[in-house]
Amino acid sequence: ELKVEQNPLFLSMQEGKNYTIYCNYSTTSDRLYWYRQDPGKSLESLFVLLSNGAVKQEGRLMASLDTKARLSTLHITAAVHDLSATYFCAVDASGTYKYIFGTGTRLKVLA
C-alpha cells in the first residue's frame, strides 16, 4: 500500500529564514502535488510535478521531484508570516484512482 510521509510535522520558523519540507513516498509515481490549507478552508493547489527532475517556483516557494529517490521537497525562502498554513503533498500512484496525501506540515512563521 502506498504511504506518503512528510517531515517535519510541525515547523516554527522566524521570518526571513529558509527551510525545506520533505515528502517521501513508498511506491513508483511520477506525479506529485503540493497543496496549502488554511485553518477551516479547502486545499489550494501550489505545484503540480509531473516528471523526474521537475522543479517549479512561485514566489518564496520552490518544489522539486526526484522519482528515483521517491522524494519531493518544498523549499521556503525568506519566510514571511503569510506563509503560515498547513502544507500537504499528495501522490498519484500510477494505475490507481486516488490521491494519497501526506500527513501534512503545519508551518508557523513568527514575526
Partner 1 sequence: ETGVTQSPTHLIKTRGQQVTLRCSSQSGHNTVSWYQQALGQGPQFIFQYYREEENGRGNFPPRFSGLQFPNYSSELNVNALELDDSALYLCASSLGGAVGEQYFGPGTRLTVT
Burial string for 21-52 (b: 16+ CB within 10 Å, else e) reads bebbbeeebebbbbbbeeeeeebeebbebeee
- Which of 60, 62, 104, 108 is in the footprint of partner 1 by CB under 8 A? 104
Least Å distance, CB 88 to partner 1, is 6
Question: What is the separation of C-alpha 42 from the centre of its chain, rounded to a whole number of angstroms?
Answer: 16
Under the criterion CB under 8 A, does residue 102 sit at the interface with partner 1? yes
Under the criterion CB under 8 A, does residue 68 sit at the interface with partner 1? no
* Residues engaged in binding partner 1 (CB under 8 A): 31, 33, 35, 40-43, 45, 48, 88, 90, 92, 96-104
